Structure 1
Amino acid sequence: MTVDTRAPTSREVKKAERRAELLAAAATLFADRGFAGVRLEDLGAAVGISGPAVYRHFPNKEAVLVELLVDISEYLLTGGQRVASTEKTPAEVLGDLIDFHLDFALTSPALIEIQDRDLQSLPAAAHRKVRRMQREYVEIWVSVLRRLDPTLEESDARTTAHAAFGLMNSTPFSANRTVSKRSRILLRAMATGALGI
């Protein structure tokens, strides 16, 4: 297999930048209006292009949703695996997992809303992929929680992890999706308290 080592052309760079703009605009629009309430024309208008021009980047609206939710699920899973693979104590790893998840929750509230409301709009194969990655991410937390407390039943550890996610993922549902400077400190303190570290 040949590896392409050439630098991207300016056209390729611009196309990648436009694609990133479309994804960012889609995250905002889908969070505000719901997946069903957004047309490709709306998405194009948000970045200053026509609806049909969106087809140069995505074959349809579903492909945009797939990329948003698959990408964030992959990010969480690989990040969680990286955090959990360190040689730290279980309490330190759990603290790092909280920080990692809060970084996501506080910077990506739109994606949390989309995931919460529009996951069922994914095509079947993408839906299965996202759900599998989500389960694997939860199991990282379950493993660390049980290392921290070996008496904790697996099902209880899973319930605990989901409760922590609910607490940390509450940020999009704050008034106007605004997050105060103290939000991270408050959420971290609540999560660490709830998880017993």
Structure 2
Amino acid sequence: MSVDNRRTARPAVDGDSAPRPIRRRPKNRRAQIAAASAAAFGALGYHGVSMEDIASGLGISSAALYRHFPSKYALFREELLRVGTAMTDSVRLQDEAHEWSPERRLRHVVRAVAKAVIDNRATVTLVRWEVRYLEEPDQRILAEQQSTVLDALGAELRSLRPELDLDDVRVLRGAMLSVLTSIADHHATLPAKALVQLLDSVCWTLAQAELPPAAPDPAPAAAADIPESFKHELLLRKAVELFHERGYPNVSVEEIATAAGLSAASAVYRFYRGKADLLAAAFRRAADRVSAAIGPAVASAPSPEAAMSVLIERYVAGSFAERALTFVYYTEFQHVPAEERAVLRNIQRLNVDEWAKLVRDVRGDLTAAETRFLVHAAFALVVDLGRSFGAEPIASQLRVRRLMEITLFGRPVSAH
């Protein structure tokens, strides 16, 4: 007879009501912590989460959490770099891949990246929008990881289309990665298999895109000066600029007041209740800008496709004109007061639904859920290409509009 040396609960003896359970630490505790922290950071941002919040969400003590990670930063860093590693691992091709066709290699890489993003959706949100809070050496590591992914997409794209010049490769690979990671910007759902197929399909059409010649955008009209007496508008502009440059948590009301030419922070409160109120006002303006364009475009256009062409043109023009606000809208949303977040989310959902309905009117083969993913991907293209290329002619408004059209319709609109 063999002896079982495993630990078991102590058997009951007289006076005991039940065996006393033995508590064991889960073997995957670090993975549980990583998942919980990614969800928390993704929802509230790096500065909005404490170690106590993460411990509480796991049902453990802060002391138990500190046994695994010495600080919130250590946890944040490990999770971002872990996902960066997962992304770089995903683009490595097996030895026999050299025998594959260029299309098969590219689509294999795209699908592998898509699966890595889906598996790590919450943390990809951090990689997209919270990376500024990594220390500089860690930012460099993550940047190298992202470059590896872009280089892999670019290499397979050049193999598929050797006639492309380097700048076009840079734009197209950036657009493809933007589409793949855009699923981290929202909470729409699709089964993983269907989502991989959708992302692969979009990236394949982008890989075959014929871009307009690179050319500078026409010089924008000079921004109107805000009169000194129009302080509430000046405060809004300066606040957005500072939030864009340094991140919302790192900007004080005093600094906003100084930038707007006010003598003291107390003067801000004559116009806004505080820093969060400024952020909410800016976001409401951005959301209303998108909403206001929909009705007139649909009413005046002869077809859903023509209406979408108008909306795309206006969306790109507005985003280019207010790049800082477009970026801040994605990076700082969690800092808006909860009641305002609910209102803004509802406006955004209605905007996305209206765009998605127009896309479905053109592409009857897609479901409502699929078209919502495409709309979010098209929006992401604008901010991502702006971040990557700024005002470079290779990412002009005309080119970004073409990429949005291809993302939404699988081709340029017929007007082109």
TM over 0.5: yes
| Distance in 2 between residues matched to 1:126 and 1:91, nearest whole Å | 33
Equivalent residue for 1:4?
Answer: none
| Distance in 1 between residues matched to 2:260 and 2:339, nearest whole Å | 29
Whether 1:51 aligns to 2:257 is no
1:166 CA displacement: 1.1
- What are the Cα deviations for residues 37-65 of structure 1, in whole angstroms up to 9, with x where unaligned? 11111001102212222122112111111
Equivalent residue for 1:29?
Answer: 242
Equivalent residue for 2:323?
Answer: 109
8 A contact 1:81–1:140 mirrored in 2:
no
1:186 CA displacement: 1.3
Equivalent residue for 1:18?
Answer: 231
SS in 1 for 2:366: coil
Whether 1:74 aligns to 2:288 is yes
8 A contact 2:257–2:268 mirrored in 1:
yes
Whether 1:180 aligns to 2:392 is yes
Equivalent residue for 1:41?
Answer: 254
1:93 counterpart (304, 307, 311): 307
Which runs of 5 or more residues in structure 2 are unaligned? 1-226
Equivalent residue for 2:368?
Answer: 154
1:173 CA displacement: 1.3
TM-score normalized by structure 2?
Answer: 0.42
1:141 counterpart (355, 359, 362): 355
Whether 1:63 aligns to 2:266 is no
Which runs of 5 or more residues in structure 1 are unaligned? 1-12
1:99 CA displacement: 0.4
The structure where helix makes up a greater share of residues is 1
Q: Percent identity?
A: 23
1:131 CA displacement: 0.5
- What are the Cα deviations for residues 117-166 of structure 1, in whole angstroms up to 9, with x where unaligned? 11111111100011000011101111111111222211111111111111
SS in 2 for 1:152: coil
Whether 1:191 aligns to 2:384 is no
8 A contact 2:253–2:275 mirrored in 1:
yes
Give the counterpart letter for 1:70 in structure 2. R
C-alpha RMSD over aligned residues: 1.7
8 A contact 1:25–1:46 mirrored in 2:
yes
2:337 counterpart (109, 114, 123): 123
| Distance in 2 between residues matched to 1:110 and 1:81, nearest whole Å | 26
Larger Rg: 2
1:100 CA displacement: 1.3
1:84 CA displacement: 2.4
Number of matched residues?
A: 182
TM-score normalized by structure 1?
Answer: 0.85
8 A contact 2:327–2:383 mirrored in 1:
no
